[in-house]
Amino acid sequence: MKTIHVITLQNVANYGSVLQALATQELFESLGFDVKFYNYKRKESLTIYSKIIYFVKTQGIKGLFKSFLWIPSWIKENSIFQKFIKKHLNTIPQIVCESDDFKKITLDADIYCTGSDQTWNSGWNNGILSPLFLDFAPADKPKIAYAASFGKSSLDENEKARTKELLSQYSFISVRENSAVNICNDLGIKAYQVVDPTLQMTANFWQKFSKPINCKGYCLLYQLNTNRSFDKFAIEFCKKKGLKLIRFCHRLDKMFLPADIHLPMPQVEDFISFIDHADFVLTDSFHCSAFASNLNKQFLSFFPEYGGRIKSLLDLLHLENRHIVDLNSIDDYVNMPNIDFDKVNAILEQERNKTVELLKDAVG
């Protein structure tokens, strides 16, 4: 059996990040590979102390206050996400942070892969992190990228040359957004757009992780970015729809935001469960939008500052009207017709087949 080693962001304390890693593992295993993930972490996220130092360096006194506020959440999230990772992902035990760290572990894979999520987002990563571009991989082994994302619509001028140099080492590149295809093309690099790994897996796959919920008639709100106007929209929307508002809190301090019911940092499986059983979903999250689409839930998405990822998804599925453009026009969204999921499912099935064929060619 051939081996493929994947570097991605499964150690980010984010529901979508760990679930896209699980989906990536499932896909490559279905193609006959032994899959292992590098235990990659950014240095500033290794410990709570390193997180505090990072916040102080980047935000000063404000960062110090914020870090102490978030310490309980950091402790809780480490328990939640590491529990899921240890149970479901095949991970190489040694922690790696920088390119030199890979010299201390055995690099014996047949193929090396940059996985999905915002692996190439220089804003999020505070610069170009070369391990996420597989700079450590042996030169005689194939490098591929699967559904990678830049997390933005264009590169800064000062990062184009280095990005092109790193991408030129790949034998195959697939990306998650149409804007990422354009970024690669502008650098003279061939790239294919594929759906996020969580969409590559069918609803039946994800529903194996879904548990019964003791609540009916609710709208799930999953909000990554604090936005008082979006809060007001959600409250009024639910009143008009006759639904309870359940807020999925990805940090403990989110418990103070308005909702009928708060879910304080639930288990990873609960992220799937509460979307699966919802009557409606409101979100500013790419992965929540993806799961709502995949699980055939009526939903609306509000774009955060960098909303290109959600826009690309809605464009692909012909669901452009699910974008909340005006938070004051609540009645327009309350009275919208339901999504025709037969059409959505047909598009997803076509995209899944395309991805499998592309990856079969890429891995030989």
Which pLDDT score is estimated for 101? 95
Which pLDDT score is estimated for 65? 87
User: 106: Cβ–Cβ under 8 A, 6 or more apart, which residues?
Assistant: none
The whole model's pTM is what?
A: 0.95
| Contact status, residue 129 vs residue 136, Cβ threshold 8 Å | no
Work out the percent of the chain whose per-residue pLDDT is above 90.
Answer: 85
Q: Is the pLDDT of residue 115 over 80?
A: yes
What average pLDDT does range 316-321 have in this prediction?
A: 96
DSSP secondary structure letter of residue 253:
G
Which residue is associated with the tokens 């692996």? 119
Which pLDDT score is estimated for 309? 86
What average pLDDT does range 184-200 have in this prediction?
A: 97
Phi-psi region of 342 (alpha: psi -120 to 50; beta: other; left: phi over 0): alpha
DSSP per-residue string spanning 185-247: HHTT---EE---HHHHS-HHHHHTS----S--SEEEEE-SS--HHHHHHHHHHHHHHT-EEEE
- Output the average pLDDT for the chain: 94
| Contact status, residue 10 vs residue 37, Cβ threshold 8 Å | yes
Q: Which residue has the higher pLDDT, 27 or 250?
A: 27
Which pLDDT score is estimated for 123? 84
The three state secondary structure string of 29-80 is HHCCCEEEEEEECCHHHCCHHHHHHHHHHHHHHHHHHHHHHHHHHHHHHHHH
User: pLDDT (tens digit, 9 = 90+) per residue, 128-182?
Assistant: 999 999 999 999 999 999 999 998 889 999 999 999 999 999 999 999 999 999 9
Q: Supply 5's token pair.
A: 């080693």
Q: Count CB neighbours of 207 within 10 A.
A: 13
Q: Tell me the pLDDT band of 305, cut-offs 50, 70 and 90.
A: confident
What average pLDDT does range 212-228 have in this prediction?
A: 94
Which among 200, 243, 274 is positioned nearest to 15, based on CA atoms? 274
| Contact status, residue 195 vs residue 147, Cβ threshold 8 Å | yes
Which among 211, 278, 268 is positioned nearest to 247, based on CA atoms? 278
Q: Is the pLDDT of residue 307 over 80?
A: no
Which pLDDT score is estimated for 11? 94
Q: What phi and psi values does residue 76 have, to the nearest 5 degrees?
A: -65, -45
User: pLDDT (tens digit, 9 = 90+) per residue, 60-75?
Assistant: 998 888 888 899 999 9
Q: Which residue has the higher pLDDT, 62 or 245?
A: 245
Among 17-31, 42-56, 93-107, 228-242, the range scoring the smallest mean pLDDT is: 42-56
